[in-house]
Amino acid sequence: MLKYDHFIFDFDGTLSDSYPAFVKAAKSIADKYGVPSSDEQIYRLLKKHSTVYLFDTLGFGKYRDGAYSEFQRLSEELLSTEATAMEGAEDLLRFISENGGKSYVYSHSGNIVVQNVSRWGFKKYFVDYMLGDTRYPRKPAPDALLALMSKHGIEPHKCVMIGDRDIDILAGKNAKISGILIDDAEYYPELEVEYRVSKLSRIKYLLQSDPQI
């Protein structure tokens, strides 16, 4: 028996190994505009913050908006061809489905989520998606999560938010639901969260055995 009935997943960095594409796209744009950067710096800013924060921080100046638009186009192009599913993603989604659980995606990444889910053959595992609906503020605000939960009659104590960044967990916390943080490099040691794992594939064991795994 599963600990929860409903599993809401972040996408990039959680189900999708998206960061290599994001880093590649951001470095390409930074180089084009002559903005000093490194792969390590870009990855750290993305992991700890967001793509918006990255472009606000690197120093594009008056070119910031144009550079960010170029990054969005290039990163989506790369994601559509190069992004792969995280190790253990299909196994976990299948396990949830076979044990009566329901899975959802909450991401700001838009339609590329559905495209890649379909490309990987995962579409059958998901009930619904919340993908950057502009009516709602971004994570960690709970509004989009609450709308998704209301739509499907999800009770908070039967639901968990799964993600790789603090904003995923905080969005869940603000919606009164539990969280599972995937934190392989211990970026968020101070973050209070119900469960913490080093990689996605460990969640399957957490759900059926000792919660400290």
Query: Per residue in 20-42, pLDDT tens?
Result: 999 999 999 999 999 999 999 99
Domain residue spans of the chain: 6-17+85-208, 19-82
CA separation for the pair 104, 120 (Å, rounded): 16
Per-residue pLDDT of 53-100, as tens digits, reads 999 999 999 999 999 999 999 999 999 999 999 999 999 999 999 999
pLDDT band at 10 (very low <50, low <70, confident <90, very high): very high
Residues 6+ apart with CB under 8 A from 10: 105, 106, 107, 161, 162, 163, 164, 165, 168
Arithmetic mean of pLDDT over the chain: 94
The pTM score is 0.93
Domain 6-17+85-208 classification at class level: alpha beta
**pLDDT for the residue 138:** 92
Beta strands in 62-136, from DSSP E residues, in sequence order: 84-85, 102-107, 126-131
Query: Contact at 8 Å (CB) between 173 and 179?
Result: yes
Per-residue pLDDT of 132-173, as tens digits, reads 888 999 999 999 999 999 999 999 999 999 999 999 999 999
